[in-house]
Structure 1
Amino acid sequence: MTTAPATPAVPLADLDTDALRAAHARFSASYDELKAAGLRLDLTRGKPSADQLDLSNDLLHLPDGEYRDAAGTDLRNYGGAVGLPELRAIFAEALVVPPAQLLALGNASLTVMHDTIVQALLHGVPGGEGPWAGRPISFLAPVPGYDRHFSICERYGIRLIPVPLNDDGPDVEAVAALLAADDSIKGMWCVPVYSNPSGAVYSEEVVRALVSLPAADDFRLFWDNAYAVHHLTDERPQPIDVLGLAAEAGNPDRPLVFASTSKVTFPGAGVAFVGGSQANVDWLVRNMSVQSIGPDKLNQLRHVQLLRDGQGLAAHMEKHRAILAPKFVAVSEAFETRLAPHGGGHWTAPKGGYFVSLDVLDGCARRAVQLAAEAGIAVTPAGATFPHGDDPRDANIRIAPTFPPLDELRTALDGLCTAILLAEAETLLAGRDHSEG
């Protein structure tokens, strides 16, 4: 099923037309074999594998005879709107948020982000000039980025403005220019550690700039620290105190920090967190008091008993790393073996998180994903990492290697590479036929 590269291998774009036609014929034959194999493989979403979920199975019989927190509060009853203090203390350390300014809530941080935007639309945010609704509202969207962030804005008619995402975070000059020119910008999506999908890690210099740039008082950084503890190597980024830096810059209300245990324990039965300045936290609690009399505190107690403390959380995440790291190695090996000899793409090698960002030849991503799907390999739709699914280069593909078993992952990656090479050969030939015609 694997197509052997030319000897010596030459980037497809550098082949003469006859050699490119020959390469296309080889890729087509390999693709026909791939389709005949009848595969049914899925690389679409960044879900934990069954082996990873098994790491948290103790949650199924916890809490162990307990239903009170350290203060003696009966967790079976109403109340406790801000969440279990013991659990907030564990994650406050990892997220660099004071425990008193961190809320532990339901199981989905996406829900909290969604509701925060809706509350801002209805009521405005601290320091603002009233509700966001009823006037043009825009958000900055570092790209490539997370499609579910974009979907929230798209759902409520919030204009998304793409900004380039570099290895050390968003392009600060581009952000500054946009903020200076457009007072409709009220927010910016940020995944500061192991960004989805590139794995970029924001530098302290970039973070200092983002919290310091001139902007409206109700401008908010939606700081989705989803992968703060999801390391794949021994090289760990130094946690950045975004709240402290924002306060130092005179903009304490700017960051809203989100996270969850979705890829720590059970995505379907975890805990979400949100933190910020005291003014932001008071605003959040006041809004949530109308929605709920308190989160699932027994589930939070289960998490406390499973993880214990910061060291216990780190040890738990090392077990995840042991399962995940070989899968990310498999991605690099597949692309290095199959794509690199043909100049077939450029990809990230993240030191943590859940994704790899792959850029193929411009104009080829959608066709490659289509070919892969027709061969039984489901991949995140091309363009999903850009607002409204519109990748202007049609080049980016998000790779989600976490869910399949390692042998299935290798098979899927090999098949995807075949689809990519065929799509690129098709595109190059079509361009030459057009120019020669």
Structure 2
Amino acid sequence: MLWSALLPSPTSTGTAPPTEATQRALAIWALQFTPRVALVDEAVLMEVQASVRLFGGWRALRERVLGEGRELGLTQLAWAPNGLAALALARAGIENGLRRPLDALLDALPLHTLSAVHPHRLTLEHIGCRTLGHVRALPRSGMARRFDPHLLQALDQLYGQAPQAHEWVVLPDVFEQRLELMARVEQAPALLWGAQRLLRVLSGWLAARRAGVTAFTLKWAHDAMRSRAAGEGGEITIRTAEPTRDIEHLCRLLAEHLARVALLAPVGELVLVATEVQPLQDVSASLLPDAVRQGEKLGLVLERISARLGAQRVLRPVLCEDHRPEWMCRWQPAALPLPRKGAQVTDQPQPGFVLPVPLRLAVRDHRPVYHGELMLLLGPQRVEGGWWDRAEGEDRMRNVVRDYWVAFSAQAGVLWVFQTRLGETPAWFLHGHFA
């Protein structure tokens, strides 16, 4: 099993545990990662064994939890095979409990890292116990007679020798979160800092419900030292055209509305309410499987798709050592290895789109015409060769003798054209468009 312990920041005194509202908000946010979230003492515990692969692996999940959790007051994170062990490591400031043997890590921890030790801490210190390993080494029969039986049970659970039971946090049906600001705010745009923290919790709640918000209301309460005309507070409702849980988008909308709000008195508290919520189905907009964006190599994905659809149905472009534009690139089955040699490099601009067959252009006063007369900007770039290359199934050589130009059309934009040089009467052709 894989457990994570999240420790929120303490109160402003620095010694008291975090407020219940802060801990509860962090737990609701954590429900987007797993339905198994529990509140234990001052921490939030998550059982994420079944969620690691969904979020791209242990490292990707760690980076996301740390990156987003800091905005909600997360100060310490720890991972371990069980919940109590993760909590003990977090209290000791140790994050990774998976690399070394768990028993060795826990034996070296101080007594305060296990809550069940707190009632007996003075007694244990008087008999020379300074670490959990010292407590664990005491005779079990003597501990059972002299201490609370809960101490032995907690030690067994800590070291994974007994099962743990937790009361899981239930996702509320209605989202309403309150935040007391650290300082009184007198300008409405400054409310965005606290609102952004509430929106982060809202995002986790929406993700756990597989839903998106179409309307939310931000309420604020005025400071007690206010004039009677100011009233108790105010509120603003933000609506979206489609259900969403994109925090950046919601923050931008809220910032635009707050810029036009004038506060009648300093604000000390915010409340965020999701007033309209709709189901939101997650749809991937990628042409490739989600595993590609989660770190799986593209070659492995192409091999799997080729095996499913057939080798000739999954092709990839391969650059070739050929200066003729039509044959600079060829297509081969994606499962085949790429050639070691690359394509020729030219200092001349190359178009983003090349026509499969060059389009012959009309000529007016010896100048090519395509949606009007073309203006030649850069050139010529001479391309000549191919007398050695025989077309498959045809009794001819693919020899080209051309002068390429970068041209401009007022209607079609920047074009790639060429003029034939040998053989029949010189003619102009359109061969590509610049993106």
Question: Max radius of gyration: which structure?
Answer: 2
* Greater strand content: 2
Larger RCO, structure (CA 8 Å, separation 6 or more): 1
* Greater helix content: 1
Instruction: Give your verdict on TM over 0.5.
Output: no
